[in-house]
Amino acid sequence: MNALEQLIDALRCLPGVGQKSAQRMAYHLLQHDRAGAVRLSEALRAAGERVGHCERCYTFSEAGLCEICRDDGRDARLLAVVETPADQAALERTGSYRGYYFVLQGRVSPLDGIGGREIGVRQLLERVQDGPLEEVILATSFTAEGEATAHVLAQALRSRGVKSTRLARGVPVGSELEYVDLGTIAHALVDRR
């Protein structure tokens, strides 16, 4: 493969990008935006090298502890458990949550052999021992797998005597949290059960 073909091929690692889009992207960059291509190349390299996971909440972070975990002005009695950093960002953007987070490595999916261990239940249980926690808010998606994940987590937490709640069903059933409008999420947060 020549360099152009390799670029088209490499662009297909992006989610939602097939052969046709990849070709269009490559042609666009080479014809109209070489500076953008250089910038993207550098940004990919830098992010790959510098972005790791927070030691405490497992979200993306360049430092050992992320900004939120370093912020001691938040409510240490609350911990919201989410499936992805994207879901965390959605919850954070509502502006109506002031506790801390724990970011799972996805959600359980028995058919794919992904259970509690794979998504980080052990790390979550370690985290809940650490600090004056009163409530764990299970903010996983309202999909079948998100519900199953919440169920697994609730059981594990109960065995440690930790109370967990679920976002209220204001969040439309069957939807990914990341794509829900902020108002709905904010409302669901207040009505958590």
Structure tokens belonging to residue 83: 């499936």
35's enclosing H/E stretch is helix 34-50
Q: CB under 5 to 8 A by kind: which of Zn ion, a copy of itself, none does 114 bind?
A: none
CA atoms within 13 A on the CB side of 98: 4
What is the number of helices (H) and of strands (E) in the chain?
A: 9, 6
* In the complex, minimum distance from the CB of residue 70 to Zn ion, in angstroms, rounded to a whole number: 8
13 contacts a copy of itself (rule: CB under 8 A):
yes
Cross-strand partners of 137? 80, 165
The site that binds Zn ion (CB under 5 A) totals a number of residues, namely 5
Cross-strand partners of 186? none
- Give the range of 29-37, 114-122, 142-150, 163-171 binding a copy of itself by CB under 8 A: 29-37
Q: Which residues bind a copy of itself (CB under 8 A)?
A: 2-4, 6-7, 9-11, 13-16, 21, 23-31, 33-34, 36-51, 60, 62, 84-86, 89, 178
Residues that bind Zn ion (CB under 5 A): 54, 56-57, 66, 69
